[in-house]
Amino acid sequence: MLTITNLTANAGGKPILKGISLTVNAGEVHAIMGPNGSGKSTLAQVIAGHPGYEVTGGSVTYEGQDLLELEAEVRAQQGIFLAFQYPVEIPGVSNAYFLRAAYNEVRKAHGEDEVDPLEFLDIMAKKLKVVEMDEAMLQRSVNAGFSGGEKKRNEILQMAVLEPKLAVLDETDSGLDIDALRIVAEGVNKLKRPDNATIVVTHYQRLLNYIVPDFVHVLAQGRIVRSGGKELALELEERGYDWLLEPAGASA
Amino acid sequence: MSSQIESLVNKEYQYGFVTDIESDAIPRGLTEETVRLISARKNEPQWLLDWRLKAFKRWLSMTEPRWPNVKYGEIDYQAQTYYSAPKSVKPLQSLDEVDPELLKTYEKLGISLNEQKRLSGVAVDAIFDSVSVGTTMKEELKKHGVIFCSFGEAVIEHPELVQRYLGSVVPYSDNFFAALNSAVFSDGSFVYIPKGVRCPLELSTYFRINAADTGQFERTLIVADEGAYVSYLEGCTAPKRSTNQLHAAVVEIVALDDAQVKYSTVQNWYAGDKDGVGGIYNFVTKRGKAFTNSKISWTQVETGSAITWKYPSVILQGDNSTGEFYSVAVVNNKQQADTGTKMIHIGKNTKSTIISKGISAGHGQNSYRGQVKVLPKATGARNYTQCDSMLIGNQCGAHTFPYIEIANNSATLEHEASTSKIGEDQIFYCKQRGLNAEHAISLIVAGFCKEVFKELPMEFALEAQQLLGISLEGSVG
Amino acid sequence: MTAHSNYRELFEAATHGVAKDWLPSLKIAAIEQFEAIGFPTTRDEDWHFTSVTPIAERIFRPVRSSGTSLTSDDVARFTYGQEAWHLLVFVNGRYEPSLSSFAELDAEAQVMTFSEALKEAPELLAERLGTLAPSTQAFTALNTAFMADGVVIRVPKDVVIETPIHILHLTDAHANGASLHPRTLMIAERGARMVLVETFATVGGGAYFTNHVAEVVVGAQARVDHYKVQREGGEAFHVGTTQATQERDSIYHAFSFATGAQLSRTNVYSRLLGENAEVRLNGLYALEEAQHGDHQTYVEHIAPACSSREVYKGILDGTSHGVFNGKVFVHPEAQQTDGKQTNKALLLSEGARVDTKPQLEIFADDVKCTHGATVGRLDEMAQFYMKSRGIGADRTRALLTYAFAAEVLELIELEPLKAALEGLLFERFIPPETA
């Protein structure tokens, strides 16, 4: 589904990603872990097409096409979804309107008819249950005045509505209490299908108790320094990141 | 992203066409003779001519205000034509007699004067250059005692009302442009809602400037008698021309005891091209006087004009009266706007609300200028003001000049203002959900303006949102 | 003869002391500029709500007498009980060494009177004086033309002056009908730190006119805390202009406390020239009877990523008239500007009046600027609450007024000054409890 080969990227002229290679197949869950500043979030943003990062080398292939050639909205329409670490507030625009606009863009891209507000409400009713959210929140402005937990749940609601092929969850666990974490993780699990894939970017192992990864990759100083199975996450929980950093530093 | 924002490409102004119609215009220039000529063309009574001449005399002694935060060259008042009317328009004609060419013009503007195709629930007075082409739904309104007609017609048919209220809110000596208007105003709309009547239709005037080098100086007078209610809409367009045209209107609203007047404007005069060539100079005086327990509400969406100079105001004369001002002002390319309101609290327990949303894009300069004045006797006066500015691109400017003058200690006043840029993170967030940049901007801007749009009548709200989309079109890549 | 042409005559008559050539020419240029612009009128946008006619129509001559009857006891009333502070006392505009107490200064910092500075650091004076506060403003021009004495402070690179420097401007009966034009020049070089307190007060000065100008240079990474306490006499006139410039990463905090003068105008301006500089302009004014007090602030964001914070509060009683005009100007290059301004006025009496104009002018798009203004009476709920707890109406009013004011005093970081000003307010607003 997604093949990243030797990807390098800069932010503000400074190299952040220094050669990332990663393959994600349908049905898989990958966890990307690493200390602060390792480039985890940058990787998520580059996959989504954030204009603030400049790709300086390497390639990203998604479903057989050159992903880096595509505008951010086209990537979204083709099934890439980024759950933001800091979901953005859009005052005055209702959640319902925003979601329907996004939903219709995806449908249009697939040559399907747009849905009207009433049909959309039916679709929403089901999706709201996935994240245990109240219908009233559809009338509130996008993320405006939401608590941290509500924002993250809103991200998962959007994911449920847009049904992406590849979901990238960027530190979705940060700032969540244990109940909210459970709701968010269960939401993600319910949406898992054999034909989609998930990349979970996280600093802590905690989230991985709920969303069990098939692969764990450790990112440090812009490189993947170790890959393994889910047991790697547990090892990191116990030993921290330092033991992995030294060899990377020494080889530099 | 910001380079995308800067790459401005403008969608064509869709109302920029010219109607080819034979006009009867008076010679260029402005002298006492011009004033007499206009008055004579309109068969006006002596008292109105006298009033015009007093205004003209006063105007000669005044100087053009230069305090607004806008820049433009010298206006040659002698190079303008002050009266131009399509030859085919006869005084007091019925709608069946209207020149098909004019009907077609209004069709093209989306306004049907034809009885069958009309928007239901809206009565329209169509003003073309200096005269009214026709007014729809007059019979329906007559049943309720509502008078809705061109100003010229009102002078002849209802002189007592016109004489009583003309200049009672905006005296001819008020300011330079008001004095000019009082001297040379040609036509406009007149509305009278009798005591206790809730006007069953939305009343609307559609202004069109067609002739070249011609100013439009219309005068609107709305009188809501005790306990009456009316909602009035105003729309404006003009052809694309490379010279600037002057539009100096005066609108007076009188809301007698317990009356309510809601006045909505969607102003889409030609704004000039992307280099700032051409466009309308929109120098307008709008003011309402609110008597006891009455309410006057101004809602405006300003997207057009090269220069806008406009402060729809309310004199809160009577106790418990309310004034409201809801405004969205958009400037793009080289447009400049200096707009806002004045709320003058005179009566006790008077209340005013000001919500202003300014959007600046391209090289546009947008100023909010607002005055809240509480006089010593206005015990219990309250004001809430919120003025927010949004900047799109880094060549534009946003300016806020609030004047808060409080001389009564029981007044409560709150003023909040903010300026921020359109969030690139917001745009990226929308794009990540599959919306393109243009769609993202219009969504974010519509959200920003929501508090004002919800004050507009339904048909207008939709038009306003579309208009906003068009005026900002191309402000992102 | 017009009001301001009198000043040319006075200027010609005055002896401007022995000075280097540049000084007379600076002064001549200033008086010429003043003559050209004249006193401002209410038609000037920045003076719309304040008429200076009472100043313009009188002729204030320079103080003639050089003697003073003031004693150290008189001085002690205005020193906030702080004997350890460096104290420079000026009486009727002239430095009084006998009343001043000046301990040894840290490191190579220089604190000089004008005449000392002309001898010891003429280049510094020649280079800086009048460059921050230009004579394009009438009162600044007048000050430059007539300035006779003042203080020059230079804190060199990385020097920290722990002890506050207090400049106390006093007047006595000799000042009646006269004008004073004191001047302050303060230069904090890179990484320097200092605290300056300027107090204006009187012991029987009558109807005098203080026209003060302070120029403040805040170098990179430097921090200056600048407190101004204006307690002029009830018949007096006070115009004061503080003009600061700030280099990158600097902090300038100016606090203005004003209760005096029949007519006063206080300008505080800062130009943010270097990235990431921070300015805090705070103030409190309390006026009564027919006092007129006008505060103007102007923050000019020239460099990117600077922040400005302003909190001004006013308490107006009697038929007093308060004016606040806070302008924030953001240049096109000043991206990532973060500006916040709050301005509140409390009207205690029916005759009190306030005019406020918080103004934003923004030419950059990546900015976050807000301002808020409120005008009103004391909170009725709070009054009711206190009354319901058995506190009398007068005392309730007093306590709530004090609380309104005390909130802004919290922004003063110089503890003894904060305590002293709180004390002043307490005396003013809280009547002694009668048994």
Residue of chain B nearest A164, judged by CA positions: B433
- What tens digit of pLDDT does each residue of C251-297 get? 999 999 999 999 999 999 999 999 999 999 999 999 999 999 999 99
Report chain C residues whose CB lies below 8 A from the CB of B399: 359-362
Residue C399 belongs to domain spanning? 379-435
Burial of A66 (0-12, 13-18, 19+ CB in 10 A): exposed
Q: Which chains touch B (3 or more CB pairs under 8 A)?
A: A, C
Where are any strands of DSSP class E within chain A?
2-11, 14-24, 29-33, 53-62, 65-66, 80-83, 90-94, 141-142, 166-170, 197-202, 215-220, 223-228
Which one of C50, C365, C377, C380 would you mutate to disrupt binding with B, by most B Cβ within 10 Å of its Cβ?
C365
Is B399 close to C365, i.e. CB distance below 8 A?
no
Query: Quick one: pLDDT at residue C197?
Result: 98
| Contact: chain A with chain B (3+ CB pairs below 8 Å) | yes
Question: Residue C368 is nearest to which of B404, B411, B420, comparing CB atoms?
Answer: B420
| Contact: chain B with chain C (3+ CB pairs below 8 Å) | yes
Does some domain include residue C355?
no
Instruction: Give chain C's domain count.
Output: 2
C-alpha B348 chain-centroid distance: 29
| Residues in Cβ contact with A25 at an 8 Å cutoff, skipping those fewer than 6 apart | A1, A197
442-461 in chain B: CB under 8 A from chain A? 443-444, 446-451
Last residue of a domain, one of C248, C274, C300: C274
C-alpha B7 chain-centroid distance: 31
Is A73 close to B437, i.e. CB distance below 8 A?
yes
Nearest CA-CA distance, residue C247 and chain B, Å = 24
Q: How many CB pairs under 8 A join B and C?
A: 115
ipTM (interface pTM): 0.89
Does some domain include residue C360?
no
Query: Quick one: pLDDT at residue B472?
Result: 64
Query: Quick one: pLDDT at residue C10?
Result: 81
pLDDT band at C395 (very low <50, low <70, confident <90, very high): confident
Report chain C residues whose CB lies below 8 A from the CB of B369: none
Does some domain include residue C181?
yes
State both tokens at C331. Answer: 């240049």
Check: CB of residue B270 under 8 Å from CB of residue B238.
yes
**Are both C213 and C90 inside the same structural domain?**
yes
**Are both C53 and C191 inside the same structural domain?**
yes
Query: Quick one: pLDDT at residue B10?
Result: 39
**Are both C260 and C393 inside the same structural domain?**
no
B444 close contact with C: CB closer than 8 A: no
- What tens digit of pLDDT does each residue of A86-108 get? 899 888 888 888 999 999 999 99
Check: CB of residue C404 under 8 Å from CB of residue B457.
no
Extract the residue ranges of chain B whose pLDDT is less than 70: 1-12, 14, 88-97, 109-122, 130-131, 133, 459-460, 462, 467-477
**Are both C255 and C111 inside the same structural domain?**
yes
Share the mean pLDDT of chain A. Answer: 89
Please give the Cα distance from B365 to B337 (Å, whole number): 6
Last residue of a domain, one of C253, C274, C295: C274
36-75 in chain C: CB under 8 A from chain B? 45, 49
Residue of chain C nearest B410, judged by CA positions: C377
Res. A180: pLDDT tops 60: yes
Question: Residue A84 is nearest to which of B429, B434, B437, comparing CB atoms?
Answer: B429
By C-alpha distance, which of B103, B61, B9, B2 is closest to B474? B9
Question: Residue C361 is nearest to which of B376, B399, B406, comparing CB atoms?
Answer: B399
By C-alpha distance, which of A8, A2, A3, A4 is closest to A222? A8
Report chain A residues whose CB lies below 8 A from the CB of B443: 90, 93, 97-98, 101
Report chain B residues whose CB lies below 8 A from the CB of A76: 431-434
pLDDT band at A187 (very low <50, low <70, confident <90, very high): confident
Share the mean pLDDT of chain C. Answer: 90
Is B413 close to C374, i.e. CB distance below 8 A?
yes
B337 close contact with A: CB closer than 8 A: no
Residue of chain B nearest C367, judged by CA positions: B420
Query: Quick one: pLDDT at residue A250?
Result: 42
φ, ψ dihedrals at C20, nearest 5°: -65, 160
Q: In what order do the strands lie in the sheet with A166-170?
A: A80-83, A166-170, A197-202, A29-33, A215-220, A223-228
Greater pLDDT, C364 or B256: B256
Last residue of a domain, one of C274, C302, C317: C274
A91 close contact with B: CB closer than 8 A: yes
Query: Quick one: pLDDT at residue C1?
Result: 39
Please give the Cα distance from C292 to C267 (Å, whole number): 14
Does some domain include residue C371?
no
As a residue count, chain C comes to 435
List the domains of chain A with CATH numbers. 2-244 (3.40.50.300)
- What tens digit of pLDDT does each residue of C6-48 get? 788 788 777 655 455 778 888 999 999 999 999 999 989 899 9
Q: What is the pTM of this model?
A: 0.84
Residue of chain B nearest C375, judged by CA positions: B413
- What tens digit of pLDDT does each residue of B257-292 get? 999 999 998 888 888 888 888 888 999 999 999 999
Check: CB of residue A238 under 8 Å from CB of residue A205.
no
Does some domain include residue C374?
no
Is B443 close to A101, i.e. CB distance below 8 A?
yes
Nearest CA-CA distance, residue C185 and chain B, Å = 32
Does some domain include residue C188?
yes
- What tens digit of pLDDT does each residue of A114-127 get? 888 888 888 888 88
As a residue count, chain A comes to 252
Does some domain include residue C206?
yes
Is B432 close to A52, i.e. CB distance below 8 A?
no
Query: Quick one: pLDDT at residue B121?
Result: 62
Is B435 close to A102, i.e. CB distance below 8 A?
yes
Q: Which chains touch C (3 or more CB pairs under 8 A)?
A: B
65-94 in chain B: CB under 8 A from chain C? 67
pLDDT band at A139 (very low <50, low <70, confident <90, very high): confident
The fraction of chain C above a pLDDT of 70, given in percent, is 96
Query: Quick one: pLDDT at residue B130?
Result: 66
Res. A16: pLDDT tops 80: yes
Please give the Cα distance from B193 to B263 (Å, whole number): 14
What is the maximum span of chain B, computed from C-alpha positions, in angstroms?
Answer: 68
Question: Residue C360 is nearest to which of B67, B399, B406, comparing CB atoms?
Answer: B399
Where are any strands of DSSP class E within B225-312?
229-237, 244-247, 250-255, 260-267, 279-290, 295-302, 307-310
Question: Residue A92 is nearest to which of B4, B430, B447, comparing CB atoms?
Answer: B447
By C-alpha distance, which of A27, A3, A38, A47 is closest to A214? A27
Does some domain include residue C165?
yes
Is B397 close to C362, i.e. CB distance below 8 A?
yes
Nearest CA-CA distance, residue A241 and chain B, Å = 31
